[in-house]
Structure 1
Amino acid sequence: MGRGRGEVGFAVAAMLARVGGFCARRRWLVLGGWLLVLVLAVGLAARFAKPLDTELTVSGLQSTQTLDQVDAEFGSGGDEGRVVFAAPEGQTLAAYQPALTALEKALNAEPTLSPAGRIGYFSVKAEQKQTDAALDQARAAGLQVEESSELAPPPSGGSSPGIGLLIALVILLITFGSLSAAGMPLLTAVLGLGVSLAGLYALTALVPVNSIAPTLAILLGLAVGIDYSLFLIERHRRQLREGAPDVRASIALATGTAGSAVFFAALTVIIALAGLAVARVGFLTQMGLAAAGAVLVAMLMALTLTPALLSLAGRRVVGRWKPRAARTAPRWAAFVVRHRGVAAVLSVLLLGALAVPVLGMRLGLPDDGDDPAGTTDRRAYDLVAEGFGPGANGPLLVLVRNGAVTREQIAALPGVATVLPPAVHGQDTLLTVVPSSGPEDAATATLVAKLRGLSPKTSVTGQTAVAIDISDHLAGALPLYLALVAGFAFVLLLVVFRSVLIAAKAVLSFLLSLGAALGCTVLVFGPLLAFLPTIVIGVLFGLSMDYEMFLVSGMHEEHRRGATAPVVSGFARGAKVVVAAALIMIGVFGGGVAGGDPVTRPIAFALAAGVIADAFVVRLVLVPALISLFGRAAWWLPKRLDRVVPAVDVEGTDLIVSRA
């Protein structure tokens, strides 16, 4: 394919080569410019940042609309939490009446006692609780006193970038064999992460930002920031080892060739993450755009700051020893190609087996029952379940208009533990229904559906009903988002590699990786966060396409050069980068699992599992096996499509030819 067939790709590669050459020549200007951007972003964040939004809500749902009506008519909404208290095992609260009386007076609330008389709780507004002194006095008297999440301080936790950075440094040292080369991706990623996070917090002055969005931006921004820089550095190092005489010219060429793959890979991730808006869920859109912004900054850093740092390092970036992986990759590829049929079948069977638990996947939103056992809100949750039954942690509010349904009818429904006395406002009656099952149980969702089916004039709300509705909404949007992502992947790779089979293989292998990631997460965590599959689809799709670009572009380039064994030689060129990038991703996401909270931990786990499946099973086994099985048909494109599909030349081969 000459320049005439790859005008788009050549234009991008040529532009990036000019950018790389400029950054190599004006290295101090580029470094100073990015530091200035970082200082300005931090300054804006410090001056204008507002608190992050902690609510996970979706507007327009029946439960949320009903909750607004209940708040307006009955004043029963708001940030109401529970102070839960319990006597020691074998005793009752009657022996602690003075302490309870003092606590009642301090909280200005009436206690609710369990039938057994050992456990009770106060319903308390967040603004009522001004001091912990009364709680400490009750504890000193011998009572166990715990608080629900509405009243307790937020648990510490989140992503652990320090763990990921340490793992990344070790992997980069092993990969490059050079301290200067290993340090560049880390410096690029950390500066990029600082810019994107500071910019995100500064943005809170204009629009609300969910509290989970920065965590996702950290996990993804740090991972791809390292990966993109890694890919560029490795291309430059290979050119120097092959005898490139001029360092700056090599930097420009590496930015034009490897930088093109980085550009298109990052564009893919950004589009996939921005596509989270398809679900029409505000907090999910915020998370997707925040992560997309972090990826955009990481790409810009890789394409500008990395060339500047490479110019500063000179030839020291090559290192003094050749990593063993460079010798192992060709042997592994040759082994897979020799046994390609068995390798393809076994890898598909393995991924399929890991995906089986997805068939029983249930979605929900986090509550206090998902917190670690040692936290006060989790202990409060467990005490309420023990004293009043599991449904007491998720009571349902049933709003009945014009007496359409009676309390007795509701109490007679299967799955109802009790119905509290009603509150009346005009023609509206509000009933509090305590299910016999917990908030995350499938039986509770069934009960909500039965309550709504009693009459068109009956509405159900409350925290549990809202969570069920949000989960149903996200589950309904999931097939559309997955179809859009899969369709986009097929079109993108059809254009990039001009091959129907490569594009179809990439889509199917992505679905296998996704199934394995979600299956492992269901196996470990049980019911999943309602928005977890959507996020994992967006992020894992982007990472999967990154690995596809980095690995298959090498095979494609070798094929175009007429290599006798393009799969083996192309695999050898890209495998080291894919393995290093995957290990870094696993380290970053693993840090999120180790140091995360109940919301971020399963997300980080799913992403880590997805990367393991995609990089080490799909890319290192299934991809070379299938492309070898395809033979020459791997690069086949029907003539009709050949005339209309633009040629991108993502490898920058035309740029190499033009500079030869």
Structure 2
Amino acid sequence: MARWLEAVGAFSARRRWWVIVAWVVLLAAAVGGMAAFSKPLDSNITVKGLPSITTLDSVQKTFGGGDRGSGRVVFAAPKGEKLTDADAAAVATLTAKLAAVHGVAGAVDPFDQPKAGGLSPAGRVGYITVTLETASPSAGTQSSIRSVISHAETAHLEVAATSDIVGQTGASSSQLPGIVLALIVLLVTFGTILAAGMPLLSALIGLGTGVTAIYAATSFITLNDVAPTLALLLGLAVGIDYSLFIVSRHRRQLLEGMTPKDSLPLAVGTAGTAVFFAALTVIIALAGLAVENLGFLTQMGLAAAFAVFVAMLVSLTLTPALLSLAGPRILTRRARRRLAAGEARRPGRFAPGWIAAVQKRPVLFLVAALVVVGVLAAPVMGLRLGLGNDGTQPSATTERQASDLLADGFGAGVNGPLEILASYPAAPTQTEAGALAQKVGRVTDVAATQLAGLKGDQVLLAVVPKSGPSDDATVTLVHTLREASLARSLPGSPKLEVTGQTAVDIDISDRLAGALPLYLGLIAAFAFVLMVAVFRSLLVPLKAALTFLLSLGAALGVTVAVFQWGWLGGLFGVDPPAPLLAFLPTIVIGVLFGLSMDYEMFLVTGMREHFVHHETARGAVSTGFQQGAKIVAAAALIMIGVFGNGVIEGDSTIRPIAFALAIGIVIDAFVVRMTLVPALLTLFGRAAWWLPKWLGRIVPNVDVEGAALQRPTLNR
């Protein structure tokens, strides 16, 4: 592998303009394909095989209603007051305007039809039921409804709307501040704008090519709108990391006296081999999302895997071509003068001091790192997952205001109604249907029940819980209503099935949570097998897989404490504390695993290289750490900046994901990779690089340290 990649580096350096032009053409073709052939992304998350979705299909088939959507426009008098006749007149005008909006099939004024139940018992809150012509309103319809309600408020009347008819208010997030911070970190690391811009330029070209190609693919496949999310995050992250590692290796070799012509093939043959296997590990992990058997997650994983693949190709070909074009100017002028004068390279200060302290007291640093990670990971035991709803949106949004008003006027459960489909062996009587409603009404946490339909051998029951859609009690209620014991206690022993949007959200969250252990186990196993070949060791791959779990636990634990429990929530814009997005652990695993394996490869391959070249085990850990720590720290700081920007500018969906990733990188890079790992490898000694002879004959030697490459004589 090292020899082959050395040849790739030599070709890219020699034919640099061919390679540069080829990537520019590929980028232009991908952008053109996106502009010409891309289709809108699908915003509906459909999951096959979930009981609630199967039941929902049955309800729509038997009782209808699936071809139209509906929502509520909520209005309320000031706290402590009641709705007046003047308010009723304003509501009548509002109802007429809503009914006239294009895409709206009708609107029901609760003052005209009080039996519809649109007025709260206390007389302060009410709602207009808005029926849409289609199941999902167009952007134009949503905008028109927002415009109508924005002009409907009076000094005595507050008006808000649910997301069913106006969509959710999202905040736009720009990556520009994160990219600027990345440039600053790279400038401090390398000292020249040319060297600093090289990894960013390569990463952006790779990201642009990969993501636009994904959008162009929508001409042939239907792609969910969550699919590109992971590709954007991970494509930028690994794109910078991979190019950064090759640029750093090349600069180090130039400072040691190599010529650019000799250095570039060797840099790609050594650092590029680590990049190749780091990327392969991440691609396998992302493709493993298919094991969760959720269509949108499979799309997300494959899209991100493609972005990583493109980032790898860019780093192995475009980066050496650009470096060849830059020549010795990739070094600072001062470094070039010292090199010409034959002066020795000045070592850094922090890395030698830190590794010396760790190796002097490895047990102390190991225990300290484990204690820090353990404390931060402890809250993960209280992790709760959900899909978000109007009540979890920021308080300034109209959908959150509508949810709060409905909860105040009608109880929290009105925001998360359920439906029960009861299937009888024979057509039930009205008495049996009434008995069903009464029995369900006596179940704990049920606030109200209403017979919604009776057709053939099926009864449809509307159920309003006492608790809100994000509460634990509602999850318990859904599972209770599905229990066979409840059905057996009813006349006719019907089969009971529960559906409704809240039940669907609960089922998706349960499916995701249930699949996480399998997903984690698979990617850890694949990573272990691959790294056995890379490091020709058993302890190093085992340590890498297990320490990633520590980083993941800490990232999720801190996120639970802040975004679910609300600790320091005001500092990070938590409004309100709520269960974490059901996709969050999966996305965090995919991105954090990729970056964690990058840092592992970049740091430990250097240690392996020096051990193979006859340095002592302890000395190899020290030398490899000193050479790689600065680059790992720079890569980590860049990603912390990129994701930290998402915490500041992101919406309620992006913010906790970006926060978890930023915290995960802090822990993984500085506590795990740069403290715990060197302490463990120091304690392991030569055993860290031990591989049974019989296994060594089976495992291919990928030569990630470049032992087979001919090293040019350095010009000192």
Is 1:61 aligned to residue 36 of structure 2?
no
Structure-2 change in CA distance of 1:261 and 1:28 (3 Å): same
Is 1:617 aligned to residue 671 of structure 2?
yes
Q: Which residue of structure 2 lines up, in the alignment, with residue 425 of structure 1? A: 455
| Separation in 2, partners of 1:137, 1:155 | 18
Is 1:71 aligned to residue 60 of structure 2?
yes
Q: How many residues in Structure 1 have an aligned counterpart in Structure 2?
A: 648
Secondary structure of the equivalent of 1:439? Answer: coil
Kept in 1, the 8 Å contact 2:230–2:591? The answer is: no
Q: Which residue of structure 2 lines up, in the alignment, with residue 43 of structure 1? A: 32
Choose from 97, 101, 104 the match for 2:88.
97
Measured after TM superposition, the shift of residue 126 of structure 1 is 4.0
Kept in 2, the 8 Å contact 1:212–1:600? The answer is: no
Q: Which residue of structure 1 lines up, in the alignment, with residue 107 of structure 2? A: 109
* Residue identity opposite 2:125 in structure 1: I
Choose from 422, 428, 432 the match for 1:400.
422
Q: Which residue of structure 1 lines up, in the alignment, with residue 480 of structure 2? A: 450
Secondary structure of the equivalent of 2:497? Answer: strand
Q: Which residue of structure 2 lines up, in the alignment, with residue 80 of structure 1? A: 70
Measured after TM superposition, the shift of residue 50 of structure 1 is 1.4
Choose from 184, 201, 218 the match for 1:170.
184
* Residue identity opposite 1:384 in structure 2: L
Is 1:532 aligned to residue 584 of structure 2?
yes
Measured after TM superposition, the shift of residue 320 of structure 1 is 3.6
| Separation in 1, partners of 2:172, 2:614 | 49
Q: Which moved more, 1:87-96 or 1:453-462?
A: 87-96
Choose from 514, 521, 524 the match for 1:483.
521
Secondary structure of the equivalent of 1:654? Answer: coil
For structure 1, the 5+ residue unaligned runs are 1-11
Choose from 122, 128, 131 the match for 1:125.
131
Kept in 1, the 8 Å contact 2:262–2:712? The answer is: no
Q: Which residue of structure 2 lines up, in the alignment, with residue 502 of structure 1? A: 540
Measured after TM superposition, the shift of residue 392 of structure 1 is 0.9
* Residue identity opposite 2:127 in structure 1: Y
* Residue identity opposite 2:652 in structure 1: P
Is 1:515 aligned to residue 553 of structure 2?
yes
| Separation in 2, partners of 1:325, 1:352 | 34
Measured after TM superposition, the shift of residue 140 of structure 1 is 4.7
| Separation in 1, partners of 2:25, 2:523 | 37
Measured after TM superposition, the shift of residue 591 of structure 1 is 2.0
| Separation in 1, partners of 2:602, 2:178 | 22
Q: How does 1:228-267 map to 2 (within 5 A)?
A: 228-245=242-259, 247-267=260-280
Q: Which residue of structure 1 lines up, in the alignment, with residue 702 of structure 2? A: 648
Q: Deviations over 1:124-162 (max 9, x none)?
A: 234488434643442257522212222225433355321
Structure-2 change in CA distance of 1:249 and 1:325 (3 Å): closer
Structure-2 change in CA distance of 1:520 and 1:136 (3 Å): closer
Kept in 2, the 8 Å contact 1:358–1:519? The answer is: yes
Measured after TM superposition, the shift of residue 654 of structure 1 is 1.4
Q: Deviations over 1:366-419 (max 9, x none)?
A: 212222221111111111112111111110011112347610001000100111
Measured after TM superposition, the shift of residue 615 of structure 1 is 0.4
Measured after TM superposition, the shift of residue 446 of structure 1 is 0.8
Secondary structure of the equivalent of 1:458? Answer: strand
Choose from 411, 419, 433 the match for 2:441.
411
Q: Which residue of structure 2 lines up, in the alignment, with residue 8 of structure 1? A: none
Structure-2 change in CA distance of 1:397 and 1:207 (3 Å): same
Q: Which moved more, 1:256-265 or 1:212-221?
A: 212-221
Measured after TM superposition, the shift of residue 256 of structure 1 is 1.3
Structure-2 change in CA distance of 1:141 and 1:342 (3 Å): closer
Q: Which moved more, 1:285-294 or 1:409-418?
A: 285-294
Q: Deviations over 1:7-59 (max 9, x none)?
A: xxxxx222222222222222222222211111111111111211112223311
Q: Which residue of structure 2 lines up, in the alignment, with residue 3 of structure 1? A: none
| Separation in 2, partners of 1:556, 1:496 | 10
| Separation in 2, partners of 1:161, 1:481 | 29
Greater than 6 Å deviation, 4+ residue runs: 322-325
| Separation in 1, partners of 2:298, 2:417 | 29
Is 1:328 aligned to residue 350 of structure 2?
yes
Q: Deviations over 1:285-337 (max 9, x none)?
A: 11111211111111111111111111111111012457998332122111111
| Separation in 1, partners of 2:280, 2:263 | 24
* Residue identity opposite 1:207 in structure 2: I
Q: Deviations over 1:182-239 (max 9, x none)?
A: 0111111111111112111111122222222223222111111111110000011011
* Residue identity opposite 2:584 in structure 1: L
Structure of higher RCO (CA pairs closer than 8 Å, 6+ residues apart): 1
Structure-2 change in CA distance of 1:178 and 1:530 (3 Å): same
Kept in 2, the 8 Å contact 1:589–1:604? The answer is: yes
| Separation in 2, partners of 1:573, 1:463 | 54
Kept in 2, the 8 Å contact 1:158–1:592? The answer is: no
Secondary structure of the equivalent of 2:352? Answer: helix
| Separation in 2, partners of 1:592, 1:398 | 40
| Separation in 2, partners of 1:157, 1:188 | 28
Is 1:271 aligned to residue 271 of structure 2?
no
Is 1:342 aligned to residue 348 of structure 2?
no
Structure-2 change in CA distance of 1:126 and 1:252 (3 Å): farther
| Separation in 2, partners of 1:536, 1:173 | 28
Secondary structure of the equivalent of 1:37? Answer: helix
Kept in 1, the 8 Å contact 2:415–2:469? The answer is: yes
| Separation in 1, partners of 2:523, 2:149 | 51
Is 1:546 aligned to residue 546 of structure 2?
no
| Separation in 2, partners of 1:594, 1:54 | 25
Q: Which moved more, 1:137-146 or 1:48-57?
A: 137-146
Measured after TM superposition, the shift of residue 537 of structure 1 is 2.0
Secondary structure of the equivalent of 2:350? Answer: helix
Structure-2 change in CA distance of 1:184 and 1:621 (3 Å): same
Kept in 1, the 8 Å contact 2:445–2:477? The answer is: yes
| Separation in 1, partners of 2:585, 2:423 | 37
* Residue identity opposite 1:84 in structure 2: V
Is 1:182 aligned to residue 217 of structure 2?
no
Q: Deviations over 1:521-559 (max 9, x none)?
A: 111111222222222222222221111111010111111
Is 1:383 aligned to residue 405 of structure 2?
yes
Q: Deviations over 1:248-272 (max 9, x none)?
A: 3311221111111111101111111
* Residue identity opposite 2:478 in structure 1: V
Q: Which residue of structure 1 lines up, in the alignment, with residue 570 of structure 2? A: none
Secondary structure of the equivalent of 1:92? Answer: coil
* Residue identity opposite 2:466 in structure 1: S
Q: Which residue of structure 2 lines up, in the alignment, with residue 7 of structure 1? A: none
| Separation in 1, partners of 2:83, 2:444 | 32
Q: Which residue of structure 2 lines up, in the alignment, with residue 18 of structure 1? A: 7
Is 1:313 aligned to residue 346 of structure 2?
no
| Separation in 1, partners of 2:445, 2:403 | 20
* Residue identity opposite 1:354 in structure 2: L
Structure-2 change in CA distance of 1:146 and 1:69 (3 Å): same
Kept in 2, the 8 Å contact 1:513–1:613? The answer is: yes
Q: Which residue of structure 2 lines up, in the alignment, with residue 460 of structure 1? A: 498
| Separation in 1, partners of 2:474, 2:480 | 10
Kept in 2, the 8 Å contact 1:188–1:302? The answer is: yes
Structure-2 change in CA distance of 1:314 and 1:415 (3 Å): same
Identity %: 57
TM-score by length of 1: 0.94
Q: Deviations over 1:107-135 (max 9, x none)?
A: 33223111112112223234488434643
| Separation in 2, partners of 1:125, 1:602 | 34
Alignment root-mean-square deviation, CA: 2.0
Measured after TM superposition, the shift of residue 94 of structure 1 is 2.9
* Residue identity opposite 1:382 in structure 2: D
